[in-house]
Every structure is written in structure tokens, then in C-alpha cells.
Amino acid sequence: MKHAAAVPMHISINATLLRSLRVNWRAVARVLAALALATLVVSCGESPPKGPPPPPSVTVAKPVKRTVFDFDEYVGRFVAVNSVEVRARVSGYLDSVHFKDGQTVKQGDLLFTIDKRTFQNALDQARANLVQAKSNQAYTESDFTRGQQLVRDKTITDQTFEQRSQAYRNAQAGVSNNEAAVRQAELDMEFTELRAPINGRIGDRRVSPGNLVTGGTAGNTTLLATIVSTDPIRLEFTFDEASYLRYERLSKGDDDIASRGAGTKVALKLIDENDFDHEGHMDFVDNVIDRTTGTIRGRAVFANPKGVFTPGMFGRVRVPASPPYEALLVPNVAIGTEQARKFVLTVNAENTVVSKYVTPGQVTADGLLVIKDGIGPDDRIIVNGLMRARPGQKVTPQEQGAAPAASGGGLPQKPK
């Protein structure tokens, strides 16, 4: 009985193991079947591989042909055409002030009044002396006339007649002397009223009423105020010797900025302005070049009806530096930089991007850049989409309407 029980136990363990192994293989089969089915589903849902992307789209435009000038720019300072220091011609106490500080005055406007009383007394005295001198002249004249007849009749001696003649001449001189004294007294009386000698803007008063004013022609006279003219106004600037020679050779005897009294047109902008909107003309170039700086002084005149320009203010002036010439212009945004060289991207007949190096000039007021060399009038310049274009790459060009060609091209600006 014991031996028979041991055999079935061994057989039972092997059977259990076999059953366990049979169950694991079935699970593996199910997993493999599910993976095969998923692979089939995924492969059925994939799209076919895509081709290469289309060429990028860019905007192109042909250069604009325009008649332009080259310009030089200088920084200058405004100076008044006329500047006057108001000083009294006679001494006295300041009686009144007839203007407000900083106002615009016209020639002949009353500015200051000096106490007139002492000068009125001097004038009255001079006139009285003149009356007395004329009375004396009339008496000596009649005495001289009677003496002429008496000396012919031998009633008086020649010596007595000479005395009467001398008295008459002295009386005439006395009248002339007193007439001059009256005129001087009248001038002094007139000088008690100080009037504006020019049109312009007056500064603040330097002396208050009641103070003693020292007048005359000596160097210690009292400064009462200053007046500067504002319309027109001048801008003074300097340019170097090389520019002066270039202007001279460009002129060929015609009017230019290097010609004395020339009327060459120039343009101006202030420090807070973007465009050269103010037009003027040259009116003076100095006759010597400064030895220390190698520059020569020039001057331009500008109208200033609104009084915006003020003496001492800075401004930037633009002066023509070449005769007019035909040039090609492209938008300034189309210019690229490669180290020290400038280039543009063009599109050829096969719609391939080609890089061309150019010689840039100056920028016009409407944002176009003058190109002196490197492109032709029929080149298609890429003006939009530069970041999508590379030399040798195919692109899809789209034409853009070119800017209208205008004669002169405004006043160009130097490239930044």
C-alpha cells in the first residue's frame, strides 16, 4: 500500500506542471496575434511619402530711374543778420521802460525814456542865446551898413570902420555858434527817447527805472538791452579744404557755394526734425582757410517768418555736391550687408536668386537708395521676402508696382 501511493504523487506533480506550461503558451499566442493585428491596422492608415516643398514666394521690383544730386551735410549754428546793443547817448536817470521783456519790436518803437527836464532846460537856454546872438547880429549889421557910407564921406576913419566890420563878423559867428548849440540841445533832447534801431526780438531790460544811465561814446556806457533780428536769419558752418576744392572745380565759373555772393540753394533741418524741409540759399563764403583747422567758413540765409530759428541754435544743412545725373534707385530695405560690402538679391529669368554687389549712394526723402554701380534698369530686385531667399535658390517672384519716378528725387540723405 505504501509503494503504490508514492507513484501516483509523482505523476500528479508532472501533470500540474504540464497544465501550467500549456496555459502560458496560449497567452503568448494571444499577445502575438494582437500585435500582428495592430501592425496591420497602422500600416493601412499611413499616407504615401510627400514631395519637396514649393519655391518660396518673394516680391520683386525694378529699379526706379531718377535725376538726382549728391549732397554734403554740415552742422552749423544760427546767427542774427543784425544785432544791436541798446545804449544811451546821453547820461541821466532812466524814467520809464516801454516794452515787455522778450517781445518783438519794430524799427522806431519807443523802448526807454530818460528824464528830459534837464535837457529841456538846456534847449531853452540855447534857443535864448540864439535869439540874443541874432539881435546882436542885426545891430552890428546896421552899424556896419552905416559905416560904409560914413567912411566914403570921410566922416569916420578907416580904423573905426574896421572895428564895425569886425563886430559884424563876430556877431555872425555868434549866431552860427548858437545855432549849433540849439541843434545839439535838440539832439540831446531827442536822445532821451531810445527807439529800436532795427526790427527783431528784444531781450530783457538790464536797468530798472530810477537808475542813473551813463551815456555817450566812451566805453563805460550802460547796456540797457539787446535786439537781434530774426527774419531772415543766417546759418554759419565750416567745410574742409577738400570739399571747397570740389565745389570750385564743379562750378567751372558758374555760381556755386564757393562763389562769392552765390545763390546756391540749400536745405535745413533742426535737431528734432526728420526731413530737410526748410529751404534757403548760400550768401557768403569766407576768403581764407583757417590754418589751424583747415576749414573755411560758409553762410546760408533762411526765411524765418514764424521765428522758429533762434540765434545760437544748431541746425544741419545740406549742400549740393554734384551736378544732376541719372541714377537707379531701389528701396533702402532691399540692401544687404556683407562685412564692408553692400549687395542686393535679384531674380533672373529662370527665377533663381542671384546676389549682386552694389555701390550705394545717398538715401532720398522717400526712402529710396541711390545705386551708382552694380545693377541694371531691368534687374528684378527682391524687396520683400529676403529672409526666405538664398543665392542659387529657386523662388516664385511676384511683381510689385515701382515707386513713381520724380525729377530731382527730393533732397537725398546720407546712408546710415
pLDDT at position 402: 42
Neighbouring C-beta atoms of residue 35, cutoff 10 Å: 10
Whole-angstrom distance, CA of residue 142 vs CA of residue 223: 53
Contact in structure between 145 and 151 (CB atoms under 8 Å) = no
Residues of the chain with pLDDT under 70: 1-51, 251-262, 401-416
The DSSP secondary structure of 243-268, one letter per residue, reads: HHHHHHHHHTTS--TTSTT---EEEE
Closest residue by Cα to residue 320 from 300, 302, 304, 303: 300
Beta partners for residue 329, in sequence order: 64, 370
Which candidate, 161, 192, 194, places its Cα nearest to that of 84? 194
DSSP string, 336-387: EEETTEEEEEEE-TTSBEEEEEEEEEEE-TTSEEEEEES--TT--EEEE-GG
Phi first, then psi, for residue 146 (nearest 5°) are -65, -35
The pLDDT value recorded for residue 25 is 54
pLDDT of residue 411: 45
Q: Note the pLDDT tens digit of each residue in 250-300.
A: 766 555 554 544 578 899 999 988 888 899 998 888 889 999 999 999 999
CA distance 338 to 334: 13
Q: At what angle do helices 158-191 and 117-152 cross, to 10 degrees?
A: 160
CA 180 distance to own-chain centroid: 53
